[in-house]
Amino acid sequence: MILEATQGKFITLEGIDGAGKSTHIAWLEGILRDKGQNVVVTREPGGTPLGEKLRTLLLNAGQTMHSETEALLMFAARREHLDKLILPALSRGDWVISDRFTDASYAYQGGGRGLTANKIHQLEEWIQGDFQPDLTFYFDITVELGRERLGNRIGDMKLADRFELEQDAFFRRVRTAYLERASKFPHRIHLVDSSQPIEKVKLSLYDKLLSIC
């Protein structure tokens, strides 16, 4: 499947929880709006009414599921996301900023859960064809620092979601998978050292953003 060419730009942010994605989304949105762009901010899983229902299911700490079921639900939400929000916005000429996209499936369902890259690639080709973000910011941070930034939330069964309750070894595998993706696709994935002071992180983001504006 080949999706139609678009006019806008698609930016994604990736990283383990605590890496700083959420902190910088609003800032990136502001930069783009200052440059006269219309911006749509969204997230995965989610972004559409059906996607948000699937998000609730996927993140429910009390819900167990097979790793392949998890991957299929992630891509089901992504298909809706592309059809109902991302592609229409890009076709209008809007810029879209998404908190996670397909790189997260390779990291979490691949690295974390142990699904083969081939299985995820088959889903990727089926759902999105050759469509990829124009730019991906990967916020890299150690698992220990990410946990520290999240604070007590991950230790509270009432607040933590199904992924946050995973052990450190899970997130180390996720981080390794992300780093492998960044190494494989350096033209698209911009690695950001998220342990740096926030102003240095913003400078790194701003310089790279200018390259596609």
The whole model's pTM is what? 0.92
CA–CA dist 150, 95 (Å, integer): 29
Would you mind telling me the total number of residues written for the chain in this entry? Answer: 213
pLDDT value for 158: 53
- Going from N- to C-terminal start, the domains of the chain cover 10-210
Q: Answer positive or negative: Cα dihedral of 70, 102, 191, 116.
A: positive
CA–CA dist 140, 130 (Å, integer): 26
pLDDT value for 159: 63
| Residue 58, CA atoms < 13 Å, CB-side half-sphere | 24
CATH label, 10-210, candidates 2.40.110.20, 3.30.830.10, 3.40.50.300, 3.20.20.30: 3.40.50.300
pLDDT value for 147: 86
The closest alpha carbon to 19, from 211, 206, 210, 196, belongs to 196
Would you give per-residue pLDDT tens digits along the chain (213 residues)?
Answer: 334 445 799 999 999 988 989 889 999 999 999 999 999 999 999 999 999 999 999 999 889 999 999 999 999 999 999 999 999 999 999 999 999 999 999 999 999 999 999 999 999 999 999 999 999 999 999 999 998 887 755 554 456 788 988 999 999 999 999 999 999 999 999 999 999 999 999 999 999 998 898
Residue 124: strand pairing partners: none
Residue 148 structure tokens: 């520290």
Contact indicator for 13, 24 with CB cutoff of 8 Å: yes
Contact indicator for 57, 63 with CB cutoff of 8 Å: yes
